[in-house]
Amino acid sequence: MGLAELIRIKQITPAEVVEDTIRKIEAVNPKLNAVICKTYARARQQASQAIMSDRPLAGVPFLVKDNAVIAGIALTRGSRALRAAVPNQTGPFFAAAEQAGLIVLGVTNMPEMGLIDGTESALYGPTRNPWNLDYSPGGSSGGSATCVAAGILPLAHGTDGGGSIRLPASHCGLFGLKASRGRLLPGGFGASPWPRLVDGCISRSVRDTAMYLSLVEDPSTRLPKLGFVSAKSRRRLKIALTYEGTRGEAPHPEVRKAIAATARLCRELGHTVDEANVPLDQARVDTAARQLARISHTIFARSGGVARRFVRTCWLVASGGRERSWDFPGLRGAAKTWSRWAWDDAAVVTRCGGACHAGEPRALAAALRRTAAQPQTSAAGQLDAIAILMRRTLTRTSAPILSSLRRIVPQLALANGV
C-alpha cells in the first residue's frame, strides 16, 4: 500500500516501478531461481497505460505462482508434461487482481503440481531461500515467498491447500494467510481438482495482505462480507498452546522461543492463552489411517480392473514399449478413467508421443505405440504425464498401491520421487 500511495501522489510512476522491479529480478534471480517466466513486455505495456487515480494498487508490481490462470502466460504447474500449456482465458481471481491495478511481471517457481512442501522440480530446478542459499524457502509457494523476502516486490501471489502459503511465509520471515474457502474469487474455471486449494498472497505486512484480499473477495460469497479489514477486531480469543508434536516431539529451542514470543504477543493484545496438551491419541489415529487405507485399497482393486490397467500402462511406457502385448481394451478403460482425474487431458498424453485427448482411446493407444517405436527416448523422459495420473489417482487410494507400483515400475518411482 505504501508503494501504491507513492504512485498515487506522483512521486514515482508505474513505469519507473516496473523497471526497478525488472532490475531487481535480473540481479538476484540467477542465484535464487525464483522467477521461471518473465512477462516484461506485457508489464511495460500495462505500466504505460496505468490509471493512477481510481485503482487502489495501480502500478504495483506483481508476480504469480506457476498455477495462475492468466491468458497468454505460461501455466506449467512445475511439470514437464505441461511445459507448452498457455491459457486463453484469465481466471476471475486474477482478473480482479489486475483490475485493482497490479502489474504482472512474471511467474514464480513451484514444485510439480504443488505436491511437496519445498520448491523444486525436474523442469525448473530448486528455488533457494534468500536468507541462506543452502536452505529451502518451503513450498509450494516458495518462488513467490523468495521474491518477497529478497525485496524484489512487496507482495506476490500464492495458493494454499495444506500450508503452501503459510509454510514458505514461515521459512522466509513473511506474513501468510489462508483465507476461508469460498470467500475469494476462484483462480480458474470449473470444479477445482482440489477443493481445499485457495488463492491468496504472501506479503511483508498484515495491512498489505488485508487490502489485497479485499480486492479479490467474491461478491457472491455465502460468508459475511469483510471488505478491507483496517483495524483489529474487538473479539477476544481463547487460544490453546502446545509446544510438543502429536507424538511428543519437542521443538528446536529457537522454534520454542518463537512460539513463546507469539503467545506473549497474543496475551498483550488481550487474548487468553493457556497451555494444553492436544487431546489426541496418535496411536489410535495411525491405526484408523491404516484401516482406511485397506478399505480404499479394496474398493480401488474392485473398480473394474482400473488399477491393473493403470499399472500395465505405466509399465509399457516406463519399459520403452518392450512389452509387445498391447491391451487396447485396457487402454480404452484407463483413458475414460483418466479423463475424469487428470488436470489437463490434452497435456496428460503429451509425453506419450502426441497431444491427443485422453478421452479419445484410439488416439491414446496410437500415441503410446508411437512412443514405443522411439527407443532413443529414455524412460525417465516419458514419465511426467503418467506421474500426474498416478499422484491424482493415489489421493483416492492408499499406501499399498503405492508400494505395489514401486515394485512393478521402479523407474517411475525413481524418476518422479513418488
Query: DSSP string covering 214-262, please?
Result: HHSB-TT-SSPP-----S--S---EEEE--S-TT-PPPPHHHHHHHHHH
- Per-residue confidence band for 278, with pLDDT thresholds at 50, 70 and 90: confident
Residue 85, H or E segment: none
CATH of domain 2-215: 3.90.1300.10
- Say what the pLDDT of residue 109 is: 98
Measured between alpha carbons, how far is 19 from 25 in angstroms, rounded to an integer?
Answer: 10
Distance in angstroms between the alpha carbons of the first and the last residue of the chain: 42
13, 95, 104, 16: which is closest to 52 by C-alpha?
13
- Say what the pLDDT of residue 312 is: 41
Asked whether the predicted pLDDT for residue 322 surpasses 50, the reply is no
Residues of the chain above pLDDT 90, percent: 56
Measured between alpha carbons, how far is 253 from 217 in angstroms, rounded to an integer?
Answer: 39
Measured between alpha carbons, how far is 305 from 368 in angstroms, rounded to an integer?
Answer: 20
Asked whether the predicted pLDDT for residue 188 surpasses 60, the reply is yes
Residue 154, H or E segment: none
Residue with cell 495462475: 68
- Say what the pLDDT of residue 344 is: 29
Asked whether the predicted pLDDT for residue 280 surpasses 90, the reply is no
- The phi, psi pair for 333, rounded to 5°, reads -65, -40
Cell of 391: 499422484
Q: In this structure, are residues 154 and 60 in contact, taking their beta carbons and an 8 Å threshold?
A: yes
For the segment 203-210, the average pLDDT, to the nearest whole number, is 96
- Say what the pLDDT of residue 370 is: 47
Please give the positions annotated as active site: 65, 140, 164
**Local structure of residue 383 (DSSP, 8 states):** -
- Say what the pLDDT of residue 359 is: 35
Asked whether the predicted pLDDT for residue 333 surpasses 70, the reply is no
3-class SS at 176? Answer: strand
117-126, 251-260, 323-332, 368-377: the lowest-pLDDT one: 323-332
- Say what the pLDDT of residue 245 is: 79
Roughly what angle, to the nearest 10 degrees, separates helices 14-32 and 142-149?
A: 110
- The phi, psi pair for 240, rounded to 5°, reads -90, 135
CA-CA-CA-CA torsion sign (353, 355, 357, 361): negative
Q: In this structure, are residues 118 and 111 in contact, taking their beta carbons and an 8 Å threshold?
A: yes
Asked whether the predicted pLDDT for residue 283 surpasses 50, the reply is yes
Phi-psi sector, 250: left (phi>0), alpha (psi -120 to 50), beta: beta
Measured between alpha carbons, how far is 327 from 339 in angstroms, rounded to an integer?
Answer: 18
For the segment 216-231, the average pLDDT, to the nearest whole number, is 94
For the segment 224-252, the average pLDDT, to the nearest whole number, is 88
- Say what the pLDDT of residue 190 is: 83
| Other beta carbons within 10 Å of 206 | 12
3-class SS at 300? Answer: helix
β-partners of residue 5 are none
pLDDT tens for 246-256 read 777 889 999 89
- Per-residue confidence band for 373, with pLDDT thresholds at 50, 70 and 90: very low
3-class SS at 414? Answer: helix
- The phi, psi pair for 184, rounded to 5°, reads -105, 160
Residue 8, H or E segment: helix 2-8
- Per-residue confidence band for 120, with pLDDT thresholds at 50, 70 and 90: very high
- Per-residue confidence band for 287, with pLDDT thresholds at 50, 70 and 90: confident
- Domain coordinates in residue numbering, the chain: 2-215, 238-275, 293-416
pTM score of the predicted model: 0.70
- Say what the pLDDT of residue 353 is: 32
Strand order in the sheet with 155-160: 155-160, 198-203, 175-176
Q: How many CA atoms lie within 13 A of 1 on its CB side?
A: 13
